[in-house]
Structure 1
C-alpha cells in the first residue's frame, strides 16, 4: 500500500508560484515547513488589537527599529510565515533585497484568538527552531500576553522556548532589542463593551 505524501516547496519554488499567480491576490497564504498554509481570517478583536499595536509601536520605536505588519520573514526550515508583527533591525535597503531572516529579527508577535492553538503548537516551535530569541503571543481569549524567550532543542528533537512569562493587560513589558522602551498593555488589548 502506498501512502500519498504532500508536495513540499522550497522557498524559491513558493516565490515562483506567487509570481505565476498561483495564489489569488489577497489570498492569505504562508509557507510553513515547505507546505503552503491558508491563514485564518481575522475577527474584529484581532483587527482592533492589530491597529492598537501599530499605533503604540510606532510611537514607542520611532526609527529605532523597523515594524513589519503581516509581512513575510524567511526562516531556514523551508518556511516563510507572515507574523502579525515583526520588529527587525533597520537596514538601508528596508529589506528590498530579501525578507528579514532570523539574525535581523528582534521580536515576533502573533495576535491570537481563533489561531491560538496554531500559534502555540505550530508557530512557536517553528520560531524556536529558527533561533528567534523573542516570541510574543497576544492571547485575546485569555486576555494575556505570553512572552517566550530562550529557544532550545528538546531531547526528542523538537524545539521550544525555555522561558514563558505571562503579562496581564494592566501591566507593562520591555520591548526586546530596544533599550529603555516598554509597552503599556492597557493600550493594546481591545476593550470589549457590553
Structure 2
C-alpha cells in the first residue's frame, strides 16, 4: 500500500490594506461560503458568452502598491488587467461578504481603495441580515446607492402598501441593462 502524501498547509491568506498586512480568517462561516457560491453561480451563468469574466474567492487583486485584496466575488471586463496570477487593476464590480472580523475594513479602507481605483460597483453582503448594500461610482467615487433585502413573505404581508414600496428585493446590476437578481436567490437555501 502506498503511503499518503503529507498534508499541505497553505499559509493563512492575507491582504494588504493601506500598506498594512491584515490576516484573513482561514475558515469563514458556512453561510459566508454559501452566499459566495450563489453569487458566483449567478454571475457565471449570466456572463456565459459575454466578454466580462467573473472570479470568486481566491483570486488576488492588486489595485496599487499599498492595496492587495482577495475579494469574495468580482466581475472584470478589461482583459488587459487579467494575468495568470492575479488581477492588476480595478475590477468592474466587487462583492465582499461581510464577516465580523473584516466588516470594518470592507466598509472603510477597502471601500475607499476600490473607489480610488475606479471600481464601478461595490457590494457589501450580510448573510446574517440577508442584505446587499450597493455602492455605485459617481464622478470617480463610490457612493451608497441602495440596500436590497430578503424580506420574508410573512413580514411583507404585515406591511402596508407605502412600507412595501420602500423594500427593495430585486437588485439591478448597474453594469448590464438586463441583469436583475432577486435578493432571495442570493440567500437561497441558507
TM-score above 0.5: yes
Select the residue among 117, 120, 139 that pairs with 1:133. Answer: 120
Q: Relative to structure 1, is the Cα distance of residues 76 and 45 closer, same or farther in structure 2, using a 3 angstrom cutoff?
A: same
Question: How do 1:1-194 residues align onto structure 2 when only pairs under 5 Å count?
Answer: 25-40=10-25, 41-64=27-50, 65-70=52-57, 71-76=59-64, 78-89=66-77, 91=79, 94-96=82-84, 99-102=87-90, 105-114=91-100, 115-150=102-137, 161-169=142-150, 171-192=169-190
Structure 1: gaps spanning 5 or more residues? 1-23, 154-159
Aligned length: 161
Q: CA deviation at 1:178?
A: 2.9
For the residues of structure 1 that align with 2:86 and 2:43, how far apart are their CA atoms? 23
Larger radius of gyration: 2
The question of whether the paired residues in 1 share the 8 Å contact of 2:15 and 2:69 is answered with yes
Distance 2:145 2:65 in 1: 23
Cα gap change, 1:151 to 1:81, in 2 (>3 Å): farther
Q: CA RMSD in A?
A: 2.6
Structure 1 residues 93 and 162 mapped into 2: Cα distance closer, same or farther (>3 Å)? closer
Structure 2 unaligned spans of 5+: 1-8, 152-168
Note the C-alpha offset of 1:151.
5.5
Structure-2 change in CA distance of 1:181 and 1:100 (3 Å): farther
